[in-house]
Structure 1
Amino acid sequence: MDLTYSAADEAFRLEVRDWLAAHLSGDFAELRGLGGPGRENQAFDERLEWDRYLGAHGWTCLGWPTEHGGRGLSLARQIIFHEEYARANAPARVNHLGEELLGPTLIAFGSPEQRRRFLPEIVAVRELWCQGYSEPGAGSDLASVATRARLDGDEWIIDGQKVWTSLAHHADWCFVVARTVPGSRRHDGLSYLLVPMRQDGVEVRPITQLTGTSEFNEVYFDGARTEASLVVGTPGDGWKVAMATLGFERGISTVGQQIGFARELDAVIDLARRNGAIDDPVICDRIAHARMGLEAMRLHALRTLAGDASTGPAQASVSKLVWANWHRGLGELAMQVAGAPSLVVQASPYELDDLQRLFLYSRSDTIYGGSNEIQRNILAERVLGLPREARP
């Protein structure tokens, strides 16, 4: 695998770097470093304004085909943008679910009418999306969803509950996996519906996390409605569409995520130097292993992005296991370096510092987006050919 960039690619890198330096200024300069997992409450409206500013200047949906409003950039240039965006400490994006998940799904499976209706709004960041997958009885085991939808004339009527729905309290729309074939089980009879959030019959209840913030939500559908035409793909064949969305979830943006991880690791090392923990050979060894693990993760991500698309599900599972376990371990290392002061909040009633927040939020990394157990089952069954785990 060739990881070098051409002279034209490096010129593009300078273009991105210079643009961010020039435009992350004025009021936008105050947004640097804000947002992200466990901190999505920070300056949300201002970050939304920044995302719309990016869209107005052609910096959203970079890999989408030009006929769908994107720029059709190469994989290398998409990686460069995410690297430079992270290095600039630019604010966390608020349009990830629309730009990185739903948009590519509609490009692959949506009808021409759906693309015309929704893609321009995603590019311009005029509509925000959330993901209606997990349920109280169907977390990583998505095929167990119980939310149901039935056709009533020219509308679907949706009843059920979703949980751990990121940013549902800000979203205008939700892509919902629901059971539309009565009596169906597991993967069969599911449909992928596009449902407006701002209507009677949709209730959003925030979930308070260990970090004290509430970016996850419960969502209740009680007779919620959406147009009959807003099913992506064929009714009853939503499993294929839902799995494609999950594949898009572990795409280009993970490269920028790793630069954020590197910044967190540097903060841990800086604290270790300041408080003398770096002199502990055990801690020093763990820091060295963390640095090597981060580099291995980066190379694996690049290889996966440039690899054979047919290995997507397996590669996605490996990537999720690698970064989630590494990041959880970094949170534990941060608390070991901080020592006893890590047990005390910074201010009343519950003000955390960045490393405390890292530790608490990273406990969820190995659960959301497919738990470790589910990822290992996928690899065992679909790659190694081992017998399926017994299911009730």
Structure 2
Amino acid sequence: MFKYYLLKSIRETQFWFWSLVFPLALMTCFQVAFGNIYEMENSISQINVAIIVDQESMYSENFEMTIDSLSENDKGEPFLVKQDVANIEEAHELLLDEKSDLDAVFVVDGENMEILLKKDGRTTVTMVTKTIANAYQSNYSIIMDAYSTDPSSVPAIIESISEDIEYTTYNDGIYTRSPDNYEWYYISTIIMALLFNVTLGIGVVSDTRADISVGAMRVSVSPARKLKLILSAFFSRVICVWILSGIHLLVLNFVFKISLGKNWILVVLFVMLADVFALAIGQIFGLFMKGSLSQRENKATGIVMVSVFLSGEMVSNLPGIIEAKFPILNAINPATILNMGMYRLIYFDQPYDFFINAGKILVVSLLCLVISVIMLRREKYASL
């Protein structure tokens, strides 16, 4: 019977479309839309800047001191490198020259400042240079007050301003690698794909309840033990979903170049447990929902789509909003629980989380499986 149910599952084309083809197509769209946008926006390579002073003033003098302070880094290579540019004409030429490494020019005239940026330059350059200019402008009055009261304190104030202008970098002790916000969508899609496996769980019920399908009607009058039929139907589908999830993870890692982190073995085990969880939940859906097999599958798919949406598949910060307003929803939403569990395994070096989440998933899965077996074994029919 195991071989029969395995072949039957392989022939279910609708399942393979929604659980394999559709998620891969969705991740391909993400790749086209996002590409390397995270690296482009968050590149931390050095920024080469220059200062052109049209009119000397205390404002320009202190700004140059600020840039000099940012260009000096005793902890390693500075992220800001100051270059010498003679005049505004040369600055324009260098910014237009693709071979030039000059990224931005601060043009200071009295107490006014303008920023010239390289054509088609990095987004990070725009963000950092504007941050520097705004930070200096907002603190300039403090510097002038210090000049009038205690001139010796000015260098310390400028140093303090420089320290406030920082790049946001990841903490090696917390993350296994730099977190990419766009990768959340890929992870969420993997979770969506494995939750679509609830339809196979409903199929287990359909294959063993004679009032739902003709195939189950024939099987129910066979001499085979009911428990053996139920477990064969269930574990044959477990093999299918594990193969499917393996394909997803291989494509994610080798095609879309999204690393599973140094805890990748735990990630694989987590996904395997989540697959079993989806099948077990699917059996509960199949038992308590009404209608034909296709109607039950459509209802379950609708529930999965709502769960996945609330977990942040379309709006990545939605779980955070829900956590602030209605945290109980995150605590009971399967997609959110699985999303956060997989995300933490990939990015955080805290394997202890795996055992906590795996334990919860395993307990719920076993509970659903036991309920399903008990109810399916007790099914009796007056006539067929």
- TM norm structure 1: 0.24
Higher helix share: 2
Higher strand share: 1
Q: Whose Rg is larger?
A: 2
**Bigger relative contact order, structure 1 or 2 (CA pairs below 8 A, ≥6 apart):** 2
- TM norm structure 2: 0.24
